[in-house]
Amino acid sequence: MAVSKRYNQIFSRLGIFIAILMATVLVAGCSARFVPQGDEDVSAASSSVSSSGRPINGATQSSSGGAVTIDAEWKGDRDGSLVFSIAMNTHSVELDQYDLGKLAILRDNEGREYSAASWDSARGGHHRQGTLTFPYPESLSQGTAEYLEMIIRDVAGVKEMVLKWEL
């Protein structure tokens, strides 16, 4: 009888330990921010961008709102397009419903706006990554760009999320 009681205590404690371990793994997995690695070597070909081929305030810009964080990394020129690597992260919003190809624009300091040319992204639920491309802005080609802003509209109830690169 005492042996049976002892086994029940051991299994009870083991069950509690396993439940705590599973909860810890689940929380850690959902709290880890997914940031895409730079798998493409794309360089900017414009003289208005710093000599390193990157904007002067950093290649990656972030914006948060409505429980969603968007990180956009300037990848540069590829085949006449300006390319960005995008990571969207949240704990509570289903991100697969947002098509950044329709929701994102690029605006330069001269007020010109460029609609996204493409949004290439796999489904990801709460952690989504992809590549967003725009036509190469005239102000970059002409060397007159002072900054570029990426405006992403209507994500998670936020009217506009703005990411800005100083050139």
Pair of tokens at residue 135 = 């036509």
Q: Tell me what the pLDDT averaged over the chain comes to.
A: 83
For residues 25 and 125, what is the distance between their CA atoms, to the nearest angstrom?
Answer: 18
Please determine, for residue 25, whether its predicted confidence score (pLDDT) is greater than 50: no
Residue 2 makes CB contacts below 8 A (sequence gap 6+) with none
pLDDT band at 13 (very low <50, low <70, confident <90, very high): confident
- % of the chain at pLDDT higher than 90: 67
Q: How many residues are listed for the chain in this entry?
A: 167
Please determine, for residue 23, whether its predicted confidence score (pLDDT) is greater than 80: no
Pair of tokens at residue 56 = 């002067």
pLDDT band at 43 (very low <50, low <70, confident <90, very high): very low
Q: Region 5-11: what's the mean pLDDT?
A: 69
Q: Region 5-29: what's the mean pLDDT?
A: 62
Name all domains of the chain by residue range, CATH numbers in brackets.
60-166 (2.60.40.1240)
pLDDT band at 9 (very low <50, low <70, confident <90, very high): confident
Pair of tokens at residue 143 = 């060397």
Residue 36: its pLDDT value, please?
Answer: 46
Closest Cα to residue 118, out of 143, 99, 144, 137? Answer: 99
| 17-21, 61-65, 160-164: the lowest-pLDDT one | 17-21
Pair of tokens at residue 86 = 């995008």
